[in-house]
Amino acid sequence: MNIADLFFKSQTYDRDTIKKIFLIIAVSWLPLLIISFFSGTMLSADSKIKIPFLYDYLTNARLLISFPVIFLSISIINNLISKSFDQFVSAEIVRTEDLRKFKQISDTYYKLKDSKISNIIIFFLSYLWIYFFWRNYEDISGLNSWKLISSGNEGVQLAGYWYYIVSIPVVQIFMFKMIWTFLLWSSSLYRIAKLNLNISSSSPDGAGGLAFLGYTQIFFGLLGFAQNVTFSAGIADKIVYNNESFMDYRFNIILGIISVSLIYIVPLLFFTKHLLNAKLVTLFEYSKLGLNYGTSFENKWIKKNMPDNSEPLLGNADIQSLADMSNSVKMVQDQLIIPLRISTFIAFFVVLIIPYLPLLLLRYTSEEILQGILNFFV
């Protein structure tokens, strides 16, 4: 099963989900469009307004790209986490004597995730975050925009009030909700990793039976994608309206991509000890078994020490058994010590890079980018 199959077979989105996305966009983004249209700040910039609404990259990217991705990720990730909890039990990775502890871990996860107290804290935290951080983050050297006029005594405009009171809090609540889910899931994985798990290095998934965790974790990349869309759009605004350079942010971009990718992958490291121990123990056992079988094979077919051995060599099952033994040892040797394949991680990493690619258009022309791509492949 690849990532695409897992996404489309998870049945985590439907017409109701799409309707909810459009409904929230209608509440958060559409009023801003209407208000800015009637106030004359939707498209055109003048001596007073330097940043019209539709040319505010950060606002539009956050409301029209980041939010839908975050909303879709909620149902997808929740569904995968539920299946992961079930997989631990159905695959008998959690031993019978630890089932009670495991149930306590899963019950705690669901209890805290859906608790009224956590929802209330997230609600107020979203507004506090906007008040203390977001307005300063959006400030571009005091330039007047469709939502905020820094010069004179006008201050926040009508569209700005809707933006700060309704639009951004709605998006931020869902963002914090997913961050809370990630923290709870990471805590659950940490506690599960403390159990005496039944890890099999002979598992064909190449991860001791834990490959499903890698697929679950990789979908947090949707949240990372949404976060990077916001960061990228914020940089675009500063480059376009504050005459800053793309190169001024190259280290921020690299650091952002690496840090976000590591944050969402770190919980998988909790199982490294289990996988490494299982791999080493199984390698020793297979080495002993392989040596015994190899010795018997040599005595029978090479040294001819077996009396009355009249079996034909051609098509003999001993040959196939020796090959199977070799493949089994190689499978154990190739077992991952982190339940995440390199190819899957690369796909995850690419998803986090994509939001920053449009910034290249602010430094290079499309012809230069196309020529660079051609030079790379030719």
pTM over 0.85: no
Which pLDDT tens digit goes with each residue over 191-248? Answer: 999 999 998 877 788 888 898 999 899 899 899 999 999 999 989 988 888 888 888 8
- Region 310-336 average pLDDT: 68
Which of 37-41, 136-140, 177-181 has the largest mean confidence?
177-181
Q: What is residue 313's predicted lDDT score, i.e. its pLDDT? A: 57
The answer to whether the Cα torsion of 234, 238, 240, 244 is positive or negative is negative
pLDDT above 90 covers a percentage of the chain that reads 36
Which pLDDT tens digit goes with each residue over 97-146? Answer: 999 999 999 999 999 998 999 999 999 999 888 877 765 655 555 678 88
Q: What is residue 5's predicted lDDT score, i.e. its pLDDT? A: 47
Contact assessment for residue 41 and residue 159, using Cβ atoms and an 8 Å cutoff: yes
Least confident of 59-68, 148-157, 193-202: 148-157
How far apart are alpha carbons 365 and 378 in whole angstroms?
A: 20
How far apart are alpha carbons 227 and 81 in whole angstroms?
A: 21
- What does R_g of the chain's alpha carbons equal in angstroms? 28
Contact assessment for residue 51 and residue 194, using Cβ atoms and an 8 Å cutoff: no
Choose among 143, 159, 267: nearest CA to 217.
267
Angle value at C-alpha 115, between 109 and 121, nearest 5 degrees: 110
3-state secondary structure of 145: strand
Contact assessment for residue 94 and residue 191, using Cβ atoms and an 8 Å cutoff: no
Structure tokens at 38: 């009637």
Least confident of 154-163, 189-198, 318-327: 318-327
Structure tokens at 238: 């500063």
Q: What is residue 12's predicted lDDT score, i.e. its pLDDT? A: 45
